[in-house]
Chains A and B, each alone.
Chain A
């Protein structure tokens, strides 16, 4: 069994209190950094950079590197935004993290805010996470009463106000620049960088946007150092642990915190209790709905950002959706496309019109009305989705591309037989 870091305080059916968090070294890093200035704000940034803490929201961009793009003389006020708009299908780690140990996130936010000298930190939270929002509001008050947030934190002279902002509820709001537009009260359309949010973000001021899980790692990195953090991973390049949201045809779906670089097979067989009875592994999505299907040949791959990238896949949010041999992946893809076609912000043509187009073709194939010509049409369309305004459409195209690449026979079978082959007993 690997030791847990982020979820070590997770309790059965209740959240960890501030005392429980502190008992195990919680808020130590904050006390040192603020009361004694060890490490200093620059120190925090250096440690985070050295620790190779990659953004856990999906893109895997190094947190320290993002922070370093805020210039020393950047204008004030600066903002830190905690992205808790967890809407990637299959992903539920942020909710679990907030419910398990909210003070871990609060400490992470204040430390990160300290590193970039941000006086205002906003938790942008998914509207369906009302419970989590209330927990955070309550615990932020507790932390403020304890002197860990608000004005003059621990006598350091550093102020950091934490605000919980509920999203109006759209997938695209989780995209950093669209999130900023949403916060400003505009339509949640992405903005095209440059300028990046760290230069001109919320209200045109420097804004650092980080995922909940990334920020939860921060106190541990600062407290235990970069080397410790890197040593947690099982691969050379990796660092830290990863909270995997496992769902699909496994015996025990759920959230599992495991070292970066754990093998997919190990995750499924040991932690998730193996495949469900009567099921064989066919494919999985490694990082939520906007990543490719990983076929059986990748069953033993190490789950790490660089390792997956080497094989042409994306770890994304670490949401492992497992599909068994009885699942029709055309139907799965059509299901995902329905989501993406609905959630497109409607700004650029390829995304707004291309996704419903693909959805229509997939539905026709699944219904047995497909034509062989649809496959090159979809392939071309997926290629062209790469020229859309933001990363939404290329992400949405990823499952379609891999379906047409890895599971082309399955799709062709639909067209050949004029019906979905998985509707019969033939594959059982």
Chain B
């Protein structure tokens, strides 16, 4: 769809032809001269100009001379659109002299502290100061100095280095819509920071590090780890949600040092979210499993796999093939998912159960997405109306928030149908309804309008959406899968189909629970729910389990039942790169590589299969082997801990197949075994798209629990940080985790006569939760909303996203004990 779009631009739009430094260039209309030059390989210096943020002409360092054509004289190349007959010189003496002068001005107050600056070595100011020829300081005056601020655990602030390019304040306030960081003062006293020290509120704040052309904002966790040239830098894919943003990985001394955003036109543009940027610490963790064990005894990974094969064979001989079940999850690479599925198939085991990839809702989303309706995040930015259904991008897939905001900034209306108290950095119409009501609500929208005969409880708001749909030319429906059911997912797709018949250029955008949920559905046609699995263990049908990169502990709410079930198992083989609770119950543990060491293909929620390169060879970080001393004192051949196989290698070994030698051959193997994956062989730079073949599209039905009149619906919702299994291992993100809170509607709180901050005790699914009450007018009545966090260790399984809770199961006991403590401390 995008390619067609681009070709359309190329053929029908006028293409201005201009000359830059004696080179003739043809560019699409509306291209700035600075970009036109870059297309021709001529780099014009810039500080304030950043493609993702647009041009403002503040820094004046991109000055060039216009010698002929509609514009003349020295002008800023970022502020002028390319036009026919322009003759531009970047090397004109006056322009060169002016640019040198601009740099001199910028360096007047710069501290010249490059040797101790973390930006040194990849600093745009350093590069351009050199390039523009300002070498000798002439300014005889003193330098202006500032106080730095504490901005939280992620970003260091050193304002003295600032050259006032305004990138940070524009990104923070205009692009993202957060206001706690910005520009203050005027003239030379201008200051970029917060009104006072404090943790940045913007969940995309890490981009300040990438954006800042000098060392004002630098990465805090990676301080003192090296210069950029010390790092192994590779391009990768972020796996902390289903969007699949592009990242740049920096590794040194066998650990990941930091991540940066990598430009991806269709997916994330130039930025990434903080969850993605700082979620990698699991890969460096001291507690990461690095030693294969059989019954607690350390062995080599190959021996452990051999032992597993032997024990599994003896079990299947006794109890039949179906006595073994296999589980995995959507956080694995497509290679691992394919290998596991194949292993299950040829051995005749049960499953696989892919957490975040086998529920009806995810399957429905994958089956309903088609080449005709799928849109990318880039395309969402040019939508004129976005309807989000059961999606909370800020918490579920953060970068989508920025895409929605860019659409809103260009004038799109945003409407959200969701039961949660949405806190988005833009204006939107919020229709807060219980998830059960959403499908009926969507069915009331569409081509033919007949409001009176509709029995919708929200006639006015529905009418407002209908009007927007009628008016818009490029609407997009965004549908979440975290708190919705298959019926909602289908209703969203049906709505898109009705509108397409109405000749709307409409797009559909699903968000999925995990990085490779889509891939999991592509390879695996056998949906088994975790509940069924537990039932089968309890009934003795299943005696052995092979679990690859999945933690049932996290996914199954009833811990007691799960513990009993796991203890019944005769054999539990766990393969993982995370130290999960499940490993404590496993008889055989085989460590696996992370995406940074093994690489992997990930299919994002819009069917885009993207390859993530391995960032380094793996092994135990030198920090650990050297006991925090550097350099290592013991020199040995080989890499310590470098014998860990990837999860797919282990899976194939368990299947008795010798793993392919490299990723290319692995791809060949995958395509041979799973023909649906054929597009991954296609070297499309943006990532090949893999849609579900027509023959395999099934209509998914929702499993609904019956509600008793007056029951609450309990929703456990994703939280931006602390919920996603990988990034919750990052120590630097811990302070951002939400406290355990129960959100209810204002009207419900009134019936309980409860005050904000009260302590709440809630019994659900065999667990007792102690929470603090939050009251919001935006939460749908009849809903109990809990944002997940690691302390609560609570996550719904795919089939049990929502429960009904009897009103008797809640007790509210006045002010929260924590509050009282605080009050006392305050006194």
Contact = CB atoms under 8 A, between A and B. Distances in A.
A356 B141 CA distance: 9
A344 B58 contact: no
A421 to B, nearest CB: 22
Contacts of B183: 187, 346
A353 B187 CA distance: 8
B108 interface: yes
A388 B186 contact: no
Interface string A197-208: 000000000000
A364 B140 contact: yes
A377 B60 CA distance: 19
Contacts of A172: 186
A346 B190 contact: yes
A384 B58 contact: no
Interface residues of A, number: 30
Interface residues of B, number: 31
A346 B185 contact: yes
A343 B186 contact: yes
A63 B189 CA distance: 37
Given A349-B61, A387-B60, A389-B60, A341 B108 contact: no
A382 B141 CA distance: 18
A356 B188 CA distance: 8
Contact of B105 (A346, A347, A350): A350
Given A192-B57, A192-B79, A387-B63, A357 B186 contact: no
A380 interface: yes
B108 A350 contact: no
Given A353-B108, A387-B60, A389-B60, A345 B101 contact: no
Choose among B98, B138, B141, B186 the residue with the greatest number of A CB atoms under 10 Å from its CB: B186
B164 A360 contact: no
A140 B411 CA distance: 37
Interface string B154-195: 000000000110100000000000000001011111100000
Given A349-B106, A350-B105, A389 B187 contact: no
Interface string B183-212: 101111110000000000000000000000
> Which of B58, B105, B185 gathers the greatest number of chain A CB atoms within 10 Å?
B105
A170 interface: yes
Contact of A170 (B59, B105, B186): B186
Contact of B58 (A348, A353, A377, A380): A348
A135 B163 CA distance: 44
Contacts of A350: 60, 101-102, 105
Nearest to B101: A384
Interface in A368-392: 377, 380-381, 384, 387-389
Contacts, number: 83
Given A349-B61, A387-B63, A357 B187 contact: no
Nearest to A360: B141
Contacts of A170: 186
Nearest to B166: A347
B676 interface: no
A388 B60 contact: yes
Nearest to B138: A377
A75 to B, nearest CB: 15
A349 B60 contact: yes
A127 to B, nearest CB: 15
Interface centre among B76, B98, B185, B187, by most chain A C-beta atoms within 10 angstroms, is B187
Contacts of B57: 192, 348, 389
A352 B60 contact: no
Q: Which of A172, A354, A361, A387 has the most CB of B within 10 A?
A: A387
Nearest to B109: A353
Contact of B187 (A349, A352, A361): A352
A144 to B, nearest CB: 35
A75 B269 CA distance: 35
Interface in B80-129: 97-98, 101-102, 105-106, 108-109
A350 B164 CA distance: 12
B622 interface: no
B769 interface: no
B146 interface: no
B181 to A, nearest CB: 14
B105 A354 contact: yes
B186 A344 contact: yes
- Of A349, A354, A357, most buried by chain B (CB within 10 Å of CB) is A349
Contacts of A380: 97, 101
B139 interface: yes
B60 A353 contact: no
Nearest to A381: B101
B74 interface: yes
Contacts of B138: 377
A364 B142 CA distance: 12
Contacts of A357: 105, 108, 139, 141
Nearest to B163: A349
A329 B556 CA distance: 83
A396 to B, nearest CB: 11
Contacts of B106: 349, 353
Contacts of A352: 105, 164, 187-188, 190
Contacts of A344: 186-188
B223 to A, nearest CB: 29
A343 B105 CA distance: 17
A342 interface: yes
B59 A348 contact: yes
Interface in A171-186: 172
Given A192-B79, A387-B60, A387-B63, A345 B105 contact: no
Contacts of B102: 349-350
A170 B79 CA distance: 26
Contacts of A343: 186-187
Nearest to B74: A387
B24 to A, nearest CB: 27
Contacts of B59: 348-349
A360 B140 contact: yes
B673 to A, nearest CB: 58
Contacts of A348: 57-60
B185 A349 contact: no
B162 to A, nearest CB: 11
A348 B166 CA distance: 10
A360 B139 contact: yes
B659 to A, nearest CB: 57
A405 B57 CA distance: 30
Interface string B647-681: 00000000000000000000000000000000000
Nearest to A377: B138
Nearest to A172: B186
A350 B108 CA distance: 12
Interface in A306-355: 341-350, 352-355
A345 B187 CA distance: 5
Given A360-B140, A380-B101, A346 B60 contact: no
A349 B140 contact: no
B60 to A, nearest CB: 5
B45 to A, nearest CB: 12
Nearest to B103: A349
A347 B58 contact: yes
A387 B98 contact: yes
Given A346-B185, A356-B141, A357-B139, 16 more contacts: A187-B183, A342-B187, A343-B186, A346-B164, A346-B183, A349-B60, A349-B61, A352-B187, A353-B108, A354-B105, A356-B187, A357-B141, A360-B141, A361-B140, A384-B98, A389-B60
Interface of B: 57-61, 63, 74, 76, 79, 97-98, 101-102, 105-106, 108-109, 138-141, 163-164, 166, 183, 185-190
23 contacts: A170-B186, A172-B186, A344-B187, A344-B188, A346-B164, A346-B187, A346-B188, A346-B189, A349-B106, A350-B101, A350-B105, A352-B164, A353-B108, A353-B109, A354-B105, A357-B139, A360-B141, A364-B140, A381-B101, A384-B101, A387-B76, A389-B57, A389-B58
Closest 3 CB pairs between A and B? A353-B105, A346-B190, A360-B141
